Amino acid sequence: MTGQTISALIFDLDGTLVDSLPDLAEAMNELMAENGLAAHAQAAVGAMVGNGVTLLVQRAFSAHGIAMDGEALERQVARYLDLYEPRSARLTRFFPHVEGIVQALRGQYALGVCTNKPTGPARQILEDLGFSGVFGAVVGGDSGVPRKPEGDMIMLTAERLGVPLSEAVMIGDSPADVKSAQAAGIRSIAVRYGYTVIPADELGADAVVDDFREIPRLLEIWQSRS
């Protein structure tokens, strides 16, 4: 790893900045109940997160042996969003140390959020947690470009931040985050505390951290190497 300017940090949301699993799981289990199905354990819902709401809902039904697609899936996705969006930040909280570190990084880097969650709920969570205006760009899964693990959403985030793509670093918790960074040709940092069922060390990220507080020093090291 050679020294290289880093001017932008692009963060995943769920499982990286915020622990949204309690709200995601409660809304999902309301949807399951409406369909006469048993509730999923919160950890099971966490394993379904990461590739957008459509796959989340599809996986929840699949876990009950129900293949859901086409218009039926679209209806269930719409209903899930109806259940989730009004309460998307009721139980959702920042992971430890995220709030202070992000505020500190804000003075050094352009900050963006790149999430497969729809943009509206993503912005609402950030606003409800007091982070309205902290991020220069929030790109959600409904932004009109292919979702992660493709690289397009990262490229769009960098464009909206007004920084060269090569000067951005992606920080996330899932295979989709790391693969999207690789597809975009940028470096990535994976956090070990997220929702992925694949160990973070096996995701192929350029670095892996246990604690969000490790990130500023890691960035300094990357930029100082020659």
Examine the domain organization and report whether 75 and 100 are in the same domain.
Answer: no
pLDDT for the residue numbered 226: 45
Residue 2 lies in a domain: no
What CA–CA distance (Å, rounded) separates 47 from 197?
Answer: 6
Examine the domain organization and report whether 115 and 147 are in the same domain.
Answer: yes
pLDDT for the residue numbered 79: 97
Low-confidence spans in the chain with pLDDT less than 50 = 1, 226
| Residue 183 burial (C-beta neighbours within 10 Å; 0-12, 13-18, 19+) | middle
What CA–CA distance (Å, rounded) separates 199 from 218?
Answer: 20
The β-bridge partners of 137 are 112
Out of 87, 105, 140, pick the residue that ends a domain: 87
Q: Which residue has the tokens 């007091």?
A: 130
Residue 3 lies in a domain: no
What CA–CA distance (Å, rounded) separates 59 from 80?
Answer: 13
Catalytic annotation on 201?
A: no
48: CATH? 1.10.150.240
Examine the domain organization and report whether 129 and 28 are in the same domain.
Answer: no
pTM: 0.90
Which long-range contacts does 96-101 make (Cβ < 8 Å, 24+ apart)?
96/211, 96/212, 97/211, 97/212, 97/213, 98/17, 98/18, 98/212, 99/129, 99/131, 101/212, 101/213, 101/215, 101/216
What CA–CA distance (Å, rounded) separates 58 from 169?
Answer: 31
What total of structural domains would you count in the chain? 2
Examine the domain organization and report whether 145 and 170 are in the same domain.
Answer: yes
Examine the domain organization and report whether 122 and 39 are in the same domain.
Answer: no
Examine the domain organization and report whether 109 and 60 are in the same domain.
Answer: no
Asked if 52 contacts 121 with a C-beta cutoff of 8 angstroms, the reply is no
pLDDT for the residue numbered 214: 98
Examine the domain organization and report whether 161 and 128 are in the same domain.
Answer: yes
Q: Which backbone phi and psi does 102 adopt, to 5 degrees? A: -60, -45
Range of the domain at 135: 8-19+93-224
Residue 105 lies in a domain: yes
Examine the domain organization and report whether 68 and 151 are in the same domain.
Answer: no
Out of 87, 109, 127, pick the residue that ends a domain: 87
- Per residue in 158-210, pLDDT tens? 999 999 999 999 999 999 999 999 999 999 999 999 998 899 999 999 999 99
